[in-house]
Amino acid sequence: MSAESLGRKESEFQPLKLSTSPDSRRVSAALFVLTGAVICALPSFASGYAMTLAIEVMIAGVFASGINLLIGYAGLVSLGQAMFLGLGGYGIAIGTALLGWPLWVSAPITLVVVAMIAAAIGAICTRTRGVEFLLITLAFSQMFCGAAIKLRWTNGSDGMSGIPRPDLSRLGLSADSPAVFYYYILTVSALALLLLWRIVNSPFGSVLIGIRENERRVMSMGYAVANYKLGAFALSAAFCAVAGILQAQYTYFVNPDSMSWQVSGEGVLMVIIGGANVILGPFIGAAVFVIVKQALSLITDEYNLFFGIFFMLVVAFFRGGILGTLRTLIGKWR
Amino acid sequence: MSALEIPNLRKAFGGLEVIANLNLTVPDGERHAVIGPNGAGKTTLFNLITGWQPPTSGEIRIHGVPVRQGRPDLVTRGGLSRSFQKNMLLESITVLENLRIACQAFHPSRHSLLRSRTEFADVIRKARRAAEQMHLDTCLDRNVNELSYGQKRQLEVAVALCAEPKILLMDEPAAGTSPDERANLVKLINDLSPDLTIVLVEHDMDVVFAICDVITVLSYGKLLVTGTKDEIQSNPQVIEAYLGQHHA
């Protein structure tokens, strides 16, 4: 699905400049350092509830960032990425809780297996575009969700529990402590974000942007476009699986609901709210999504209705997402 | 060996025959125009040559190598590049980034995931050279959607040149440009290396005569005649079918 089919003109995507002005770099760096300092210091002044929300935001942010690699950079809108979130959770559950392998063995194996499954699925899905791609990813997701409900050795719809958090005893720490777990999630999220930033600014990433802009032209330039789309699909799946592992560790639990199309849809909403094609957009989208939803649920039981209205307002007045709109406004102000 | 050999090419869409047993040979270094009225099959011919559409029968050979259908990327890698009739540019990114991505396609870094795209200075240098060649060096940091139509047509050609092709196919490069932009584009194309084989589809006969030595005239998918400018200008069939008395 192209940028246009997301309801935006291609021109609303921000330019990919090879250089930025020193002023804008200084402002960005200052904002980045300030935000980073607040996030790092959060456990020292925030309540347990606020830390819980922050953990949920970071996990959702990693998930949405994986989706954004497809939507924002390769121009492919998937409604099936929750299948990889779920597979990540199930992978770590099978490795650690069922087979008793340590995390440092289970996690890499899970990621490699998920990427391989994604490559196999992607070989079929990436032959399509637009609505066909959206529907075929949705179909695969529902298929995996159905399989997880039926499989007895993963406890069917009851899911798998007893997933351990990382063993940090060698550092004299326990990941069951909210603050320690917060820093663990923060570290993994920051590394995932850094890796994603590296990928989208790499030659590979620039080809993905080219594909989003004009697939035919990129093919005419001499690129085997199908391979790049497949690579993006597998990488996106791996990021979603990282979020799945973190989610399973956070709740000590995984069940087929994590693979549902609603979860995929929420990930897409986070990307649109925060801003596709902006590296921090999905994290901002995740923060807004989690916090607004929590706040509305405190006020009314019908929070989904009001969240729908909120989402419509964001789409109507923040075309390009929150970060995309901010960037446009700052550009005009200059 | 000829740059381009097309023996007995035929393309039909259902019952409609768009290209009928076309035979065409373009020697190395030739500037060859394909002209004809709308619907003559010119753009279809380009789509067949570049692997975008499969022929119904017949073959296309680029320097003796048959074109692999459905893989336009391999055609470009085989030394044949094209510009499009309708601009096919990466509109919301900069001119330099368009050219850099095009140049990167032939660089080992193109698959690199973990290094910055700005690290590869040789790719950026090559992109800048392509921009200079088509007089776009003053607008490198501008987004493509901010360029004038004439500049976009120049960028179309510059992007195609980034592949360092041996054969360049240009589909109506001057379409929609002003007289000044057209004159500028003709000069830029004429300044390209004489070793480069050019096949040009163009409606503007002044552009065709200014660039090409040999002209093939198509009419309803059939080859009417191939000849030099003078032969084409004086051919009664061509005058009747396409040129009119003005160019006779």
- Does an H or E element contain A243, and which? helix A225-251
Distance of alpha carbon A17 from alpha carbon A27, whole angstroms? 17
pLDDT above 80: residue A250:
yes
What CATH number is attached to the domain comprising A180? 1.10.3470
**Domains of chain B, with CATH numbers?**
4-247 (3.40.50.300)
Of B93, B112, B114, the CB nearest to A209: B93
Average pLDDT of A245-264? 96
Residue A14 lies in a domain: no
Residue A32 lies in a domain: no
Pinpoint the alpha helices (H) of A69-177.
82-92, 103-125, 130-150
Q: Which of A34-38, A181-185, A251-255, A327-331 has the lowest mean pLDDT?
A: A327-331
pLDDT above 90: residue A325:
no
Name the DSSP letter for residue A170: G
Distance of alpha carbon A141 from alpha carbon A80, whole angstroms? 5
Residue A34 lies in a domain: no
Mean pLDDT over each residue of chain A, to the nearest integer: 90
Residue A109 lies in a domain: yes
Residues of B in CB contact (< 8 Å) with A are 50, 71-73, 76-77, 81-82, 84, 88-94, 96-97, 100-102, 104-107, 109-118, 120, 124, 141, 143, 145, 159-160, 162-163
Shortest CA distance to A187 belongs to which of A62, A84, A81? Answer: A62
Query: Which tokens sit at A159?
Result: 């899911």
Residue A11 pLDDT grade (very low, low, confident, very high; cuts 50, 70, 90): very low
Whole-number pLDDT of residue A23: 67
Instruction: For residue B46, list chain A residues with Cβ-Cβ distance below 8 A.
Output: none
ipTM for the predicted complex: 0.90
**Measured between alpha carbons, how far is residue A154 from residues A149, A238, A255, B43 in Å?**
8, 21, 9, 57
Q: Which of B81, B110, B125 to mutate to test the interface with A (most CBs of A within 10 A)?
A: B110
Average pLDDT of A65-70? 96
Whole-number pLDDT of residue A17: 46
- Does an H or E element contain B41, and which? none
Average pLDDT of A25-37? 83
Residue A265 pLDDT grade (very low, low, confident, very high; cuts 50, 70, 90): very high
- How many domains is chain A partitioned into structurally? 1
Residue A28 lies in a domain: no
Query: Which tokens sit at B82?
Result: 């094209």
Give Cβ neighbours of residue A82 (< 8 Å, ≥ 6 apart).
A141, A145, A240, A258, A259, A260, A261, A262, A263, A264, A267
Distance of alpha carbon A250 from alpha carbon B147, whole angstroms? 51
pLDDT above 50: residue A10:
no
Distance of alpha carbon A93 from alpha carbon A95, whole angstroms? 5
Interchain CB distance below 8 Å, B110 and A223? yes
Distance from CA of B112 to the nearest CA of A (A): 6
Whole-number pLDDT of residue A8: 42
Most confident residue range from A23-37, A236-250, B42-56, B176-190: A236-250
Over residues A120-152, the pLDDT tens digits come to 999 999 999 899 999 999 999 999 999 999 999
Give Cβ neighbours of residue B196 (< 8 Å, ≥ 6 apart).
B29, B165, B166, B167, B168
pTM, full prediction = 0.89
Average pLDDT of A93-100? 95
Distance of alpha carbon B225 from alpha carbon A186, whole angstroms? 72
Residue A20 lies in a domain: no
The domain in which residue A188 lies consists of 4-9+46-333
**Distance from chain centroid for Cα B91:** 20
| Tens-level pLDDT at each residue, chain B (248 residues) | 799 999 999 999 988 899 998 999 999 999 999 998 888 889 999 999 999 999 999 999 999 999 988 899 999 999 999 999 899 999 999 999 999 999 999 999 888 998 999 999 999 999 999 999 999 999 999 999 999 999 999 999 999 999 999 999 999 999 888 899 899 999 999 999 999 999 999 988 999 999 999 999 998 888 989 999 889 888 888 887 776 655 54
Interchain CB distance below 8 Å, A11 and B159? no
Residue A130 lies in a domain: yes
Sign (positive or negative) of CA dihedral A188, A194, A196, A202? negative
Phi-psi region of A156 (alpha: psi -120 to 50; beta: other; left: phi over 0): left
Distance from CA of A157 to the nearest CA of B (A): 38
Query: Which tokens sit at B158?
Result: 């510059």
Distance of alpha carbon A312 from alpha carbon A306, whole angstroms? 10
Whole-number pLDDT of residue A80: 95
pLDDT above 70: residue A4:
no
Residue A21 lies in a domain: no
Of residues A261 and A25, the one with the higher pLDDT is A261
pLDDT above 80: residue A330:
no
Whole-number pLDDT of residue B246: 54
Interchain CB distance below 8 Å, A206 and B100? yes
